[in-house]
Structure 1
Amino acid sequence: MAQWTFLTNHAHVLLCVAANPEIRLKDIATLVGVTERAALRIVGELEAEGYLSRERVGRRNVYRLNPDRPLRHPLDKGHHIGELLEAFAAEPVDPDGAA
């Protein structure tokens, strides 16, 4: 049986960044279940379309989401990512698994 989920990897990346704006790309990849290269591609696509921005602070990136950007599928017309983020809001993500 093939595995599938209701949310895309792009949505999962947004949720990781929402939970921890200073998250490392390596940790995004681990949490989403993709390679670091795929995580970098997804972050780049989200940045290119204005869904997030990143600022270099020292050796780390700090991400900012634009919650007013629309969802991209025609069936989701009129909704924005802020609604998705609010619906799936979680405690900050600790990639090491500590509570």
Structure 2
Amino acid sequence: MDGVPEPHSGWTFLTNHARVLAAIADDHSARIRDIAARCRLTERAVQKIIADLERDGYLSHTREGRTNTYRIEPGKVLRHPAEAGLTVAALLSLLLQDEADRTPLSEGHSRPHAPA
């Protein structure tokens, strides 16, 4: 039985496909249950997303006993024409930055501006 994700309304910056891919990149042998909990999705939704990603060549898996180990294709280019040339590796490098590298803007910090 799938868990019920927290309700959400409105738009988000990331698609569920990007969230699932990032979760797998963080742990290549994560269970669907764990990916679903991390991404706040149902297990069934995660299974469908993984099937989409595998069908289109972004992801593959091998079965080791009762565990799946996923392999991401880092050189695969993203699908949308506006993202032409952006690879999976480039996307994941943005999504999986180390927390220490992030400067919270909400704490009064601002990013440096380029000189005009």
Equivalent position SS for 1:54: strand
| Aligned residue in 2 for 1:47 | 54
Equivalent position SS for 2:96: coil
Query: Could you tell me how far apart the structure 1 residues matched to 2:45 and 2:97 are?
Result: 23
Tell me, yes or no, if structure 1 residue 71 matches structure 2 residue 107. Answer: no
TM-score (norm 1): 0.86
Unaligned runs of 5+ in 1: 92-99
Aligned residues: 91
| Aligned residue in 2 for 1:94 | none
1:5-39 deviation per Cα after TM superposition (whole angstroms, max 9, x unaligned): 11100000110000000100011111111111110
Query: Could you tell me how far apart the structure 2 residues matched to 1:66 and 1:80 are?
Result: 9
Equivalent position SS for 1:2: coil
Percent of matched pairs sharing the same residue: 44
| Aligned residue in 1 for 2:20 | 13
| Aligned residue in 1 for 2:34 | 27
Q: CA RMSD in A?
A: 1.5
Query: Could you tell me how far apart the structure 1 residues matched to 2:13 and 2:90 are?
Result: 16
Query: Could you tell me how far apart the structure 1 residues matched to 2:71 and 2:9 are?
Result: 34
1:40-81 deviation per Cα after TM superposition (whole angstroms, max 9, x unaligned): 000000001110101001101000100111111111011111
The Cα of 1:90 is off from its aligned counterpart by: 4.9
Equivalent position SS for 1:42: helix
TM-score (norm 2): 0.74
| Aligned residue in 1 for 2:63 | 56
Rg larger for: 2
| Aligned residue in 2 for 1:87 | 94
Equivalent position SS for 2:61: strand
Unaligned runs of 5+ in 2: 1-7, 99-116
| Aligned residue in 2 for 1:95 | none
